[in-house]
Amino acid sequence: MLPSALRYMELRFAKVFDLPSIVQLINEAFSVEAAFKVGDRIDIEEVKELFDKGYFLVLEENGILQANVYLELRVERAYLGLLSIRQDRQGSGFGARLMAAAEKLARESDCRFIDLRIVNLRRELSLFYEKLGYRVVGEEQLDAEIQAKFTQSAHFINMSKDLVHN
């Protein structure tokens, strides 16, 4: 690895050519769910669908994708998901940096809130998001198709952050 003074970091919107790398990164980052979930987290078709209706923000270091997050801008609310950091770079601040960029974009787009959902079996995620000012606002059952991919009962935890008063 290059000394930090020589590393080049870039935060940008994903382009079509990034999509295969985004799929790989998301599936690598979500591989920790293998203890309770079967199969990959996402495929190229799902990423293409998301790309068509929202944005992927990516963080590159020396031309290599290190992290990404998905952001969909809606009326007064934004939806955020798929925050993914390369496993060997987790704890590096990349997640917080991407979250701040996504929140800034949502604010600039006149969104008052930003929402996300996590699976209840990933307790560390709720702790991470709570540190960033997100609060639990409810729970949601998984639909049958999603639940079938889990080896144990699971549900979503819905979280939200007020972008006006934070």
SS3 of 51, please?
helix
| Tokens standing for residue 110 | 């006149």
Closest CA to 10 of 69, 67, 52, 70: 67
Question: How far from chain centre, in Å, is Cα 97?
Answer: 12
- Cβ-Cβ contacts under 8 Å for 55 (sequence gap 6 or more): 13, 14, 70, 71, 72, 73, 105
Of the listed ranges 8-12, 24-28, 100-104, 159-163, the least confidently predicted one is: 8-12
Q: Tally DSSP H helices, then E strands, for the chain.
A: 5, 7
pTM: 0.92
Gap between the Cα atoms of 72 and 47, Å rounded: 13
| Tokens standing for residue 159 | 């979280």
Dump pLDDT digits (tens) for 97-114: 999 999 999 999 999 999
- Check if the beta carbon of residue 159 is closer than 8 Å to that of residue 139: no
For residue 3, pLDDT over 90 is answered with no
Please name each of the domains of the chain with its CATH number: 4-162 (3.40.630.30)
Alpha helices, H only, 3-93? 19-29, 44-53
For residue 1, pLDDT over 80 is answered with no
The full DSSP string for 84-144 is EE-GGGTTSSHHHHHHHHHHHHHHHTT-SEEEEEEETT-HHHHHHHHHTT-EEEEEEEPPH
Dump pLDDT digits (tens) for 54-80: 999 999 999 999 999 999 999 999 999
| Tokens standing for residue 152 | 């144990």
Reported as a pLDDT band with limits 50, 70 and 90, residue 4 is low
| Tokens standing for residue 81 | 């998901």
What is the chain's mean pLDDT, rounded? 94
Q: Give the pLDDT confidence score for residue 6 in this predicted structure.
A: 56
